[in-house]
Structure formats: structure tokens, C-alpha cells
Amino acid sequence: MRAGHFLPLRNACLTGLMCMSLAFVAPASFAQSTTSTPQAAKATPQASKPKTATPAKKTTQKSTTKKSTTATKNASTKTAAPKKAAPAGTPQGSRAQKSSSNTQKALAAGATTAAVTSAASAQRAQAERKSGNPTGALRSNVVFVQDLNSKTVIFSRNDNVARPIASITKLMTALVVVDAKQPLDEMLQVTQEDVDVVKFSRSRLAVGVRLSRGDMLHLALMSSENRAANALGRHYPGGMPAFVAAMNKKARDLGMHDSRFVEPTGLSSANVATPRDLVKLMQATAARPSIRFYTTNQQHEISSRGHATLFRNTNMLVTNPSWDIRVSKTGFINEAGQCLVMVARINNRDTAIVLLNADGKGTRIGDAVKIRQIVQNRQAVAMSRAELN
């Protein structure tokens, strides 16, 4: 074949091969571009992920918040009932943070405590109803009330223990002085020996003051003057040891078998007695007109060294005209608390009232007022029933 004829054929072949090559390369390029597109698409969301992730987080947070709110509501709903059963003083709201099992335990514990408290209150109320003893309204730790005409104990609380009686001791001091028939007009002097070195209490009687035995007795009983009471003991025949011995002998003679005295003022906590013993002491002192007068007198003025000094009764009830008090004495030291003993006429009957270890001066007075109201009400009810029968 000639060269001239071969060249056109060669060119045609080359052209065909080029076309075939283009036909093969184009699908491959398209396939490659198609394969790389998903990767690009994947890369695009990764690049914009913070934008699309924010709604996702918000959705998750909202759902979590809803779950937490729902759980809190459920917990509040579940713990609403325990508040009713919980004993007084239980902190509210703490149980809502606990699991349901802890709530059930708290409920069980609360119910048990409430049941025990309720049972104790019911038992105490039942006992008070049976004995007619309304001492729950009184705040003195020791309460003893007795009708002296019938010897009936109206009600009592903690009356079986001998305890410190503070200045109620001065009733025994006065009883020993009066029964010894020592002259009331004899002049006595307050000395350094009469100064309180036990409780370091203050006194309006200065060392060196001279008063009659009657004035000393008056101030010791009415105003609870410790120096006056001590001076009375010192001027007893035989001195203080003989006076203390006379106090204890007098207690035995009166049947005060649970009482003991070591000094005449009551500043020592070793002066002790039971409420029943104190009733015997009050009965004895109420039978002595001078003691009865001194303990219920409202005020008394003394003159010493050219100065007049006014003393008042430590029991404010003696100034109340609605009270008919036959004998009275107050007292206080830390070991005894606030104390008050009286024999008062209530509905024409002598009634002994013993109040020891009260919270304050106002408490013992308030308790005495309540006791009179209770006794009056009970007697009124008894009289009404008698008239009906």
C-alpha cells in the first residue's frame, strides 16, 4: 500500500482512538466527581455542626428540664402527705430531695413518733381526768394543793421528793423565835457575820444597823431580808448551832420527817423539805398571829441612823383585796427556783398552796391565780351537783 493511502487511514484511526479515550475518561471523571460529592456533603455538615447542634442541645436540655420538673412535681406530690404525718418541728422540704424509699422511711418514722406522742398525751389526759388533776396548765415544777379543812389533796405534781426550799426556810426561823418567847422589843445589831458569803446576795440592812427583834422578824418574813434572819439565829440562846438544832427539833415535832435545816436564811441548798412537810409548817405558822401578820403585811418602814427605809412584801398577791391570805412566803435560789407557799381562804375554806421551782416570779404568781380559779370552779360544780341531787 502506498504511503499516501496509509496516512488518511492512520489519521482516522487516531481520531477514533481519541474519541474512545474521551468517552472512557468522561464517565470516570463524572464517577469520581459523583463519589467525592457525598464526602463534600459530609464535610459541609461537619463544618456547620455547631449551628445545627445548638437546637439539638436545646431540645435535649428542654427534655431534661421537663423530666427534672416532672420528677420534682412527682416528689412534691409524694412528699405532700408526709407533712401531715410528720411530728412538730420536722423541717419541711428536705424530704422532697430524697428518694421514694427514704420518703417512705421518713413517713414511717414520723407516724411512729406521732403515734407515741399522741398516746402519751392521751394517757396523761386520761390520768388527769380520773384524778381531777389539771396541773397541765401550771408551769411550776412542783405543785401541791390541799384543802386543810378536809385534808383532801386537790392535786399535786412531783410532791414526793425533798428539795431546796430557799427563803421558805424563814418560816421555820420565825416559828423557833416566836415559840422561844424571846422579847420582840429587844434590840439586835446587824454585824459582818450576817453578810451573805454563800450567794453574795444584796441587803438593804447595812452592817451596824440596830433594830428590834420584832422588826428583824418583820423584815425577814415580809421582805425576805437575809441579814435580819441570820441576826435572829445568832441572838438565840446558845448561838447559831443551838438555833439550827432547834429548827430541826421543831421540824420533828411537827411531823416534818423529810425536812432538814442547816441555817436560818434559806441561802443554803441544804435546807430541804417536801411539799407535804411545808403544808405542816404553814399550818403551824398560821396559828401564830405575829407570824401571820408579818408574812401578809404589805409594807413596813424602819428608821435607822436618821434615815427612813420602806420595805415591801415580796408576794404581790397580799396587796390584792380579792385574796384572803393567812400566811405567805416567797423564796429563790438557783437550786430551788422561784418558790411560793401560801394558806389562802378560797370559798370559805383554808387551802394550802405549794409552788416550787417555777420559771419566774410571774410564773409562780400566775400559777397561784390559776389554782384559785380551778378550786373555785370545782367547788361551784360540786355545789351545783349537790343542789340538783
Which residues have a catalytic role annotated? Answer: 167, 170, 224
Q: Of the candidates 286, 309, 315, 310, which has an alpha carbon nearest to the alpha carbon of residue 299?
A: 310
Give the three cell numbers for residue 309.
Answer: 427605809
* Positive/negative CA dihedral, 83, 84, 86, 88: positive
Q: How many CB atoms lie within 10 A of CB 381?
A: 10
Q: How far apart are CA 103 and CA 92, in angstroms?
A: 12
Coil/strand/helix, residue 301: strand
Length of the chain: 389
Q: Are 285 and 300 in contact (CB under 8 A)?
A: no
- DSSP state letter for 187: E
Q: How far apart are CA 200 and CA 378, in angstroms?
A: 44
Q: Where are the alpha helices (DSSP H) in the chain?
A: 3-47, 49-85, 100-131, 169-179, 213-222, 226-234, 239-253, 275-286, 289-296, 361-388
Q: Are 254 and 284 in contact (CB under 8 A)?
A: yes
As beta bridge partners, residue 329 has 341
248: CB partners within 8 A, 6+ apart: 260, 261
In degrees to the nearest 10, what's the CA dihedral of 207, 213, 214, 218?
40
Q: Are 312 and 299 in contact (CB under 8 A)?
A: yes
In the block, residue with C-alpha cell 410571774: 362
- End-to-end Cα distance, the chain: 165
Q: How many CB atoms lie within 10 A of CB 74?
A: 12
Q: How far apart are CA 110 and CA 98, in angstroms?
A: 15
